[in-house]
Amino acid sequence: MNALKGIALQIGATFLFTIMSAMVRMVSEHVPTGEVVFARSFFALFPLLAMLTWRGEISAAVRTAHPVGHIVRGTIGVVSMILSFSALARIPLADATAIGFTAPLLTVVLAALVLGERVQIYRWIAVLIGLCGVVVMLWPHLTGNFDTVEHKLGAIMALAAAGFTAGAMIQVRRLTGTETTAAIVFYFQALAAVAGLATAAWGWVVPSPREAIMLLAIGILGGIAQILLTESYRWAPASVVAPFTYSAMLWSLLLGFALFSEVPPLLVLLGAAIVIGAGLFVIWRERRSGIERRLEEAAITPPGPSA
């Protein structure tokens, strides 16, 4: 284990994902969302397959005991991606990023409802506080600050994307019981690429040279970011690296201002702070609960035979 390396990989992944989102916002002015989804997923396969080949894990990536489970996870994930990219085309980068932080809180709710996980009162309180933060974030978009229908629709899409992301995470938890990480990542990218390609029937455009380069970069950066994200959890516990996912807020603020001259309303920043605080508390409680469970198990487990 190397905590600093894990943290650095997590921050790097988050930074690349934010750059990818900024590029999605740029190309979405002229390129249909389905075409962007295809580029994001298809070109991401190249760095992923390169890594799997280097590690000798190709066979593990294509081997599966539950193809239907991958189809369900892929369908939910593709819907989330479409909604997320559609939101990026309509609302500022930092706003979309902040609303996306709702996903971990919704995952807690779905874990209790769908998986039957026991959620302690502390985490329920954190979820409720976080959802109040979501209302604060959405308020400027649904009232006077952004009075266009497109902005309102974009905010709703971002929140819906967070909900589907939470659903995808629940399905991933189910798959991890029998499937390898390589298989989960590979089948999602492949299914998302097929789903994006299917949208060609509704009309694609021939991208300009600049847009074509950006579509290629969206996929490559997304694939590399996914690898860095996966690697971060190899080097440090989730409770250590997960909080650094919220560095996306900093990157989105900087890129949003530098590239689009976007400055989020104060209420969006306040709501984001509430949601991030609630998310960090959930992570802290997860870590504390894990430590308490290990101590309890150690206390009731009889010692093994002495050497």
Read off the pLDDT of residues 29-69 as tens digits, 9 standing for 90 and up: 999 999 999 999 999 999 999 999 998 889 888 989 899 99
Task: Give 306's DSSP letter.
Answer: P
Whether 92 has a pLDDT exceeding 60, the answer reads yes
Whether 302 has a pLDDT exceeding 60, the answer reads no
CA distances from 198 to 33, 35, 190, 201, 203 (A): 12, 9, 13, 6, 10
The pLDDT score that the predictor gives to residue 234 is 83
The pLDDT score that the predictor gives to residue 282 is 85
Residue 22's contacts (CB-CB under 8 Å, 6 or more residues apart) are 93, 252, 255, 256, 259
Distance CA 276, CA 256 (A): 19
Of 229, 95, 85, the closest CA to residue 165 belongs to 85
At 259, list the tokens: 């590239």
Distance CA 129, CA 276 (A): 10
Phi and psi at residue 198, to the nearest 5°: -65, -25
At 206, list the tokens: 């021939």
At 156, list the tokens: 């709703």
pLDDT tens per residue across span 262-290: 988 899 999 999 999 998 988 887 777 65
pLDDT confidence bin for 27, thresholds 50/70/90: very high
| Residue 147 burial (10 A CB sphere; 0-12, 13-18, 19+) | exposed
Whether 221 has a pLDDT exceeding 80, the answer reads yes
User: Which residue has better confidence, 141 or 190?
Assistant: 190
pLDDT confidence bin for 296, thresholds 50/70/90: very low
The pLDDT score that the predictor gives to residue 293 is 52
Phi and psi at residue 253, to the nearest 5°: -65, -45
Q: Is the dihedral of CA 30, 258, 274, 110 positive or negative?
A: positive
Of 110, 74, 107, 111, the closest CA to residue 245 belongs to 107
Least confident of 9-18, 262-271, 287-296: 287-296
Of 288, 223, 230, 272, the closest CA to residue 96 belongs to 272
Whether 303 has a pLDDT exceeding 80, the answer reads no
